[in-house]
């Protein structure tokens, strides 16, 4: 952390769970969102945009639970206040009221209202004039202010809006009660010079600008999100809207870790300081990677797997003589451990816990049950691995136990159409939230795979079905290898046609006894092709499709890569099954309420 009295604090507004979740292919369930929110709180994030509550009852439920369960948390927040929980709303009364209901139980909460201001959006999307736009901003910000003190307003597509009209629109928002003005470069169009100049112009020419905080919100379509955000800071912005790993719509949002490490590394270059615990960056990045299913590219700044590796002999020689020859950031400052002292089969609970803490999984990062499960897996692995359990293995073990311990959870994005009455909505939420606490339905009891060159791969799988209390066995052959055979056998047992959307496998260390870490993402066959949109227009079809793609992920690690593949798949299948059951209960309860 860096603190300089002469400087102003940079407010970190994380939108991983809202704009980040709008990444193609990303669908987080409520339990996963809560887990990420807790981690962001520990990291020292100031404000979290927990979701878009009006989008679906599932979204509402996730934001409300984050407000209630994460909003009050203080772990890792020495010297900071509780994290502000924010909900997004279009400039529509129903959205704003719903956002407020979702966030109001957090000790500190904010409503984020947006309305487009560029001529292209006004003319073609909203079909309103500039005057009507200003009138709607005044009315909706005033309405939000009647519910909540802390109001953020965003003129969507500000990067392509007329700066003079922006000044007028923002002055209206301030007059109506906005306390933060966020300036989105929605389509990632501006250059750093343009974006910096825009922030400066708005700070200097908007009536009442001295009463509010200006914020950046940049998209990465031209690879300039971090540069644009830093230009914004240099020109007067004191809040930045960012996501972990830079995930988000299209090419993504500004990456939190990149902005913070720029400010950290160049304390004299920017007029701000930050209060983020940078040592949690690597573990936070891994968590978001695993839960979102969005792989971090190896050469990504700060958190990529290669970010601190030195391959060439000249560089290695330099680093051995003095790390500063080729390192501008100390790896340990962002939670990357390079010494990589492996734990062995004689390491006990204490050494295991200490190592977890060193890797960024200290405090309440793992529940007791998760810790016990991780330790048991560690012991098995340490027994079989002669070279010791590496840091990469440890990250994979954590991902595995977190993923499987949430296998009873459900994807929030496939909740049925918003219920007609408040009572029906409550019933649906209760059914879904009860379901999320449920244990995984299927566990792998036995698996035998026959494969080779010139033979037909065959898999025999036995699953325990906790609901029926019986073991189910089936066998499948496949043209395309042992994993296809295994997945087919599982599908036959659970009786669902499943599409495998993503499959990735990576080694967690070097050597032939490395763990294979498998991440999968699945959907019901034919169920994953609906478009995702987030229109400002009051078009219910566009809103209904917001985050509506039903996808489920699973992660597992094992020295046997077919076993890892089976377990990762089964975790995802359990989520799908659990989600379907919750939706059935929800619609059943809804019918009861309506009758």
Q: Where along the sequence are the contacts to ligand KIV (CB under 6 A)?
A: 19, 114, 154, 156, 182, 184, 186, 217, 219
Q: How far is the CB of 517 from ligand KIV (least distance, A)?
A: 32
Contacts of 214 (CB under 8 A, 6+ apart): 180, 181, 182, 183, 199, 202, 203, 232, 236, 237, 238, 239
Closest listed residue to residue 117, CA positions, set 152, 169, 194: 169
Q: Which is nearer to Zn ion, 253 or 283 (CB)?
A: 253
Q: How far is the CB of 185 from Zn ion (least distance, A)?
A: 9
| 114 binding partner (options ligand KIV, Zn ion, none; Cβ < 5 to 8 Å by kind) | ligand KIV
Stretch that binds Zn ion, among 17-25, 91-99, 261-269, 457-465 (CB under 5 A): 17-25
Q: Which is nearer to ligand KIV, 327 or 537 (CB)?
A: 537
Number of neighbours of residue 500 by Cβ within 10 angstroms: 16
What does 115-142 look like in DSSP terms, one character per residue?
EE-SHHHIIIII---HHHHHHHHHHHHH
Q: Looking only at residues 493 through 522 of this chain, which bind Zn ion when binding is defined by CB under 5 A?
A: none
Our finding on whether 168 is near Zn ion (CB under 5 A) is: no
Q: How far is the CB of 19 from Zn ion (least distance, A)?
A: 4
HSE-CB of 403 using CA atoms within 13 angstroms: 33
What does 378-391 look like in DSSP terms, one character per residue?
HHHHHHH-TT-B-H
Q: How far is the CB of 173 from ligand KIV (least distance, A)?
A: 13
- With CB under 5 A as the contact rule, the residue among 19, 46, 168, 436 that binds Zn ion is 19
Residue 495: is it exposed, middle or buried by C-beta count within 10 angstroms (0-12/13-18/19+)? exposed
Q: Which is nearer to ligand KIV, 221 or 581 (CB)?
A: 221
Q: Which is nearer to ligand KIV, 128 or 342 (CB)?
A: 128
| 578 binding partner (options ligand KIV, Zn ion, none; Cβ < 5 to 8 Å by kind) | none
Radius of gyration of the chain (CA): 25
Which residue has its beta carbon closest to ligand KIV? 184
Stretch that binds Zn ion, among 13-21, 137-145, 497-505, 553-561 (CB under 5 A): 13-21
Give the relative orientation of helices 57-65 and 422-436 as an angle to the nearest 10 degrees: 60
CA–CA separation, 509 and 297 (whole Å): 17
| 154 binding partner (options ligand KIV, Zn ion, none; Cβ < 5 to 8 Å by kind) | ligand KIV
CA–CA separation, 263 and 255 (whole Å): 13
| 49 binding partner (options Zn ion, ligand KIV, none; Cβ < 5 to 8 Å by kind) | none
- What is the DSSP pairing of strand 272-273 with strand 151-156? unpaired
Q: Which is nearer to ligand KIV, 113 or 280 (CB)?
A: 113
Query: At residue 496, what are phi and psi to the nearest 5 degrees?
Result: -130, 140
| 257 binding partner (options Zn ion, ligand KIV, none; Cβ < 5 to 8 Å by kind) | none
Q: How far is the CB of 302 from Zn ion (least distance, A)?
A: 21
Strand ranges for 261-383 from DSSP E = 272-273
Q: Which is nearer to ligand KIV, 57 or 184 (CB)?
A: 184
Stretch that binds Zn ion, among 19-27, 128-136, 345-353, 490-498 (CB under 5 A): 19-27
Q: How far is the CB of 235 from ligand KIV (least distance, A)?
A: 19
Tell me the helix, strand and coil percentages in the chain, rounded to 5: 45, 20, 35
Report how many residues bind Zn ion under the rule CB under 5 A.
Answer: 1
CA–CA separation, 115 and 88 (whole Å): 11
Q: How far is the CB of 194 from Zn ion (least distance, A)?
A: 18
Closest listed residue to residue 100, CA positions, set 90, 110, 114, 115: 110
Query: At residue 551, what are phi and psi to the nearest 5 degrees?
Result: -130, 150
Q: Which is nearer to ligand KIV, 459 or 532 (CB)?
A: 532
CA–CA separation, 93 and 105 (whole Å): 20
Stretch that binds Zn ion, among 14-22, 261-269, 297-305, 353-361 (CB under 5 A): 14-22
Stretch that binds Zn ion, among 12-20, 91-99, 407-415, 506-514 (CB under 5 A): 12-20
Q: Which is nearer to ligand KIV, 116 or 359 (CB)?
A: 116
DSSP secondary structure code for residue 2 in this structure: B
Closest listed residue to residue 56, CA positions, set 555, 448, 533, 548: 548
| 289 binding partner (options Zn ion, ligand KIV, none; Cβ < 5 to 8 Å by kind) | none
The answer to whether the beta carbons of residues 561 and 505 sit under 8 Å apart is yes
Q: How far is the CB of 102 from ligand KIV (least distance, A)?
A: 16
554: which 2 tokens?
């699973």
Q: How far is the CB of 327 from ligand KIV (least distance, A)?
A: 34
Stretch that binds Zn ion, among 11-19, 126-134, 170-178, 394-402 (CB under 5 A): 11-19
CA–CA separation, 153 and 183 (whole Å): 9
The answer to whether the beta carbons of residues 327 and 316 sit under 8 Å apart is no
Q: How far is the CB of 114 from ligand KIV (least distance, A)?
A: 4
Rounded to whole angstroms, what are the CA distances from 89 to 73, 152, 240? 25, 10, 19
**Dihedral sign of CA atoms 291, 66, 45, 233 in order:** positive
Q: Which is nearer to ligand KIV, 15 or 337 (CB)?
A: 15
Largest CA distance in the chain: 77
| 156 binding partner (options Zn ion, ligand KIV, none; Cβ < 5 to 8 Å by kind) | ligand KIV
Q: Which is nearer to ligand KIV, 154 or 590 (CB)?
A: 154
Q: How far is the CB of 218 from ligand KIV (least distance, A)?
A: 9
Q: How far is the CB of 537 from ligand KIV (least distance, A)?
A: 13
Residues that bind Zn ion (CB under 5 A): 19
């Amino acid at each position: 952390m860096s603190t300089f009295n002469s400087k102003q604090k940079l407010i970190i507004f994380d939108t991983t769970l809202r704009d980040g979740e709008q990444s193609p292919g990303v669908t987080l369930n409520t339990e996963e969102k809560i887990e990420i929110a807790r981690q962001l709180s520990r990291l020292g994030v100031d404000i979290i945009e927990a979701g878009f509550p009006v989008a679906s009852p599932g979204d509402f439920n996730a934001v409300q639970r984050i407000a209630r369960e994460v909003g009050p948390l203080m772990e890792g927040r020495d010297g900071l206040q509780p994290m502000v929980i924010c909900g997004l709303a279009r400039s529509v009364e129903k959205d704003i009221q719903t956002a407020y209901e979702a966030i109001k139980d957090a000790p500190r909460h904010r409503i984020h209202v947006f309305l487009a201001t560029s001529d292209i959006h006004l003319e073609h999307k909203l079909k309103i004039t500039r005057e009507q736009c200003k009138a709607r901003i005044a009315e909706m910000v005033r309405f939000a202010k009647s519910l909540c003190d802390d109001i953020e307003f965003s003129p969507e597509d500000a990067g392509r809006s007329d700066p003079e009209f922006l000044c007028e629109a923002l002055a209206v928002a301030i007059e109506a009660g906005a306390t933060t003005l966020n300036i989105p470069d929605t389509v990632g169009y501006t250059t750093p010079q343009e974006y910096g100049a825009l922030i400066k112009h708005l700070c200097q020419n908007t009536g009442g600008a001295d009463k509010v905080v200006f914020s950046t919100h940049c998209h990465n379509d031209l690879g300039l999100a971090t540069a644009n955000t830093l230009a914004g800071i240099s020109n007067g912005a004191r809040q930045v809207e960012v996501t972990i790993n830079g995930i988000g719509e299209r090419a993504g949002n500004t990456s939190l870790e990149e902005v913070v490490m720029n400010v950290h590394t160049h304390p004299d270059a920017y007029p701000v300081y930050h209060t983020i615990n940078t040592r949690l960056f690597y573990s936070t990045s891994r968590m978001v990677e695993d839960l979102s299913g969005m792989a971090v590219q190896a050469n990504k700044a700060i958190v990529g797997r290669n970010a601190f590796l030195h391959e060439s002999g000249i560089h290695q020689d330099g680093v051995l003589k003095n790390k500063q020859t080729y390192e501008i950031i100390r790896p340990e400052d962002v939670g990357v451990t390079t010494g990589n002292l492996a734990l062995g089969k004689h390491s006990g609970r204490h050494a295991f816990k200490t190592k977890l803490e060193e890797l960024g999984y200290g405090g309440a990062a793992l529940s007791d049950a998760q810790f016990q499960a991780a330790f048991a897996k560690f012991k098995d692995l340490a027994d079989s691995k002669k070279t010791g359990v590496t840091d990469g293995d440890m990250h994979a073990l954590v991902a595995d136990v977190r993923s499987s311990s949430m296998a009873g959870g459900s994807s929030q994005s496939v909740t049925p159409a918003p219920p007609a009455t408040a009572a029906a909505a409550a019933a649906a939420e209760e059914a879904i939230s009860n379901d999320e606490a449920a244990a995984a339905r299927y566990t792998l009891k036995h698996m035998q795979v026959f494969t080779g060159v010139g033979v037909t791969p065959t898999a025999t799988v036995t699953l325990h079905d906790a609901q029926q209390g019986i073991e189910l066995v089936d066998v499948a052959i496949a043209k395309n290898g042992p994993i296809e055979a295994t997945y087919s056998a599982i599908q036959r047992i659970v009786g669902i046609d499943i599409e495998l959307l993503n499959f990735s496998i990576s080694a967690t260390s070097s050597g032939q006894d490395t763990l294979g870490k498998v991440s999968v993402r699945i959907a019901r066959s034919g169920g994953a092709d609906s478009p995702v949109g987030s229109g400002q227009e009051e078009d219910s079809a566009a809103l209904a499709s917001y985050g509506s793609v039903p996808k489920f992920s699973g992660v597992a690690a094992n020295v046997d890569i077919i076993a890892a593949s089976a377990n990762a798949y089964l975790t995802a299948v359990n989520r799908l099954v659990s989600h379907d059951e919750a939706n059935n209960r929800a619609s059943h309860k809804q019918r009861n309420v309506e009758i």
